[in-house]
A and B are shown apart, each in its own frame.
Chain A
Amino acid sequence: MTPAGSLLEARALHKAYGPTPALDGADFAIHPGEVVAVMGPSGSGKSTLLHCLAGIIRPDSGSVRYGTHTLTGLSDARCSALRRTDFGFVFQFGQLVPELTCLENVALPLRLNGTKRKDAERQARDWLARLEVDGVAAKRPGEISGGQGQRVAVARALATRPRVIFADEPTGALDSLNGERVLTLLTDAARDTDAAVVLVTHESRVAAYADREIVVRDGIARETAGAA
Chain B
Amino acid sequence: MSIDTTTTGGGLRGWARDLGMGVRFAVGGGREGWIRTLLTALGVGLGVLLLLGAASIPTMMETRTQRGQARLPMEMESEALAPSAATLVEAEADTEFRGDPVRGKLLRPDGDQAPTPPGVSALPGPGEMVVSPALRELLGSPEGRLLRERLHFKDVGTITQPGLIGPGELLYYAGSATLTTDDGGWRIARFGTLVKSDPLDPLLLTLLIVGCVVLLMPVALFIATAVRFGGERRDRRLAALRLIGADARATRRMAAGEALFGAVCGLLVGAGLFVVARQFVGDVTVWDINAFPSDVTPVPGLAALVLLAVPVSAIGVTLFALRRVSIEPLGVARDSAGRRRRLWWRLPFPVAGLALMLLNGRVSGRDAEVNPYLVAGGAALLLVGVTLLLPWAVDAAVARFRGGPVPWQLAVRRLQLSGGAAARAVSGITVAVAGAIALQLFFSAIQGDFMKITGQDQSRAQLRTMLPSHDIGAIRKMISEFHATEGVRGVIASIGSSARRPGPLRKGEEFRPGTLVSVGDCPSLSELAHTGPCKDGDVFVVKDSTGTVDEDDITEVARPGATVDFAGDDGRSGPPPHPRLWTIPMSARTIEARKDPTGQAVFGLMATPGSLDLKLLERPTARAMVKIDPRVPDAVEHVRNTAARIDPQTRVFTLQNTARDKQFTSLRTGLLAAATAMLALIAASMLVTMLEQLRERRRLLSVLVAFGTRRATLAWSVLWQTAVPVALGLALAVAGGAGLGLALLRMAGKTAFDWSVVWPLTAAGGALVLVVTLLSLPPLWRLMRPDGLRTE
Contact = CB atoms under 8 A, between A and B. Distances in A.
A66 interface: no
B113 interface: no
A100 B416 CA distance: 10
* 7 nearest A-B residue pairs (beta carbon): A84-B708, A83-B708, A99-B413, A95-B703, A99-B414, A56-B786, A80-B708
A204 interface: no
A80 B706 CA distance: 8
Nearest to B414: A99
Interface in A76-123: 77, 80-85, 87-89, 91-92, 94-95, 97-100, 104, 108-109, 111-112, 117
A51 interface: yes
Contact of A104 (B409, B414, B708, B713): B409
23 contacts: A42-B792, A47-B791, A51-B706, A51-B786, A56-B706, A56-B789, A77-B710, A80-B710, A81-B708, A83-B706, A83-B707, A87-B707, A88-B707, A89-B707, A91-B706, A91-B789, A94-B700, A97-B413, A99-B413, A100-B413, A104-B409, A112-B406, A166-B706
A43 interface: yes
Contacts of A94: 699-700, 703
Interface string A26-68: 0000000000000000110001000100101100000000000
The winner among B703, B708, B710 for most chain A CB atoms within 10 A is B708
A108 B789 contact: no
B466 interface: no
B737 to A, nearest CB: 32
Contacts of A108: 406
Nearest to B786: A56
B708 A82 contact: yes
Contacts of A24: none
A164 B674 CA distance: 59
A84 B710 CA distance: 9
A134 B790 CA distance: 30
B786 A57 contact: yes
Given A51-B786, A99-B416, A100-B413, A92 B791 contact: yes
The winner among B403, B707, B710, B786 for most chain A CB atoms within 10 A is B707
A51 B789 contact: yes
A213 interface: no
Contact of B709 (A43, A87, A112): A112
A76 B58 CA distance: 58
Contact of B708 (A43, A97, A109): A109
A135 to B, nearest CB: 20
A169 to B, nearest CB: 8
Interface string B448-461: 00000000000000
B410 A97 contact: yes
Interface string B690-711: 0000000001100111111110
Interface in B400-447: 403, 406, 409-410, 413-414, 416-417
A9 interface: no
Interface of B: 403, 406, 409-410, 413-414, 416-417, 699-700, 703-710, 713, 786, 789-792
Nearest to B413: A99
Contacts of B403: 117
Nearest to B404: A117
B406 A111 contact: yes
Contacts of B417: 98-99, 140
B786 A112 contact: no
Contacts of A85: 708
Contacts of B713: 112
A47 B707 CA distance: 15
B410 A56 contact: no
Given A54-B706, A80-B708, A80-B710, 10 more contacts: A81-B708, A85-B708, A89-B707, A94-B700, A99-B410, A99-B413, A111-B409, A112-B406, A112-B709, A140-B417
A47 B790 contact: yes
B706 A112 contact: no
A85 B409 CA distance: 21
B709 A80 contact: yes
Given A81-B708, A112-B708, A91 B409 contact: no
Contacts of B786: 51, 56-57
A108 B703 CA distance: 12
A111 B710 CA distance: 12
Given A56-B786, A89-B707, A43 B792 contact: yes
Nearest to A80: B708
A95 B788 CA distance: 11
Contacts of B410: 97, 99-100
A191 B340 CA distance: 47
Contacts of B709: 80, 84, 112
Contacts of B703: 89, 91, 94-95
A165 to B, nearest CB: 11
Nearest to B406: A111
Contacts of A84: 707-709
A112 B407 CA distance: 10
A7 to B, nearest CB: 18
Given A43-B792, A51-B789, A89 B409 contact: no
A89 B706 CA distance: 7
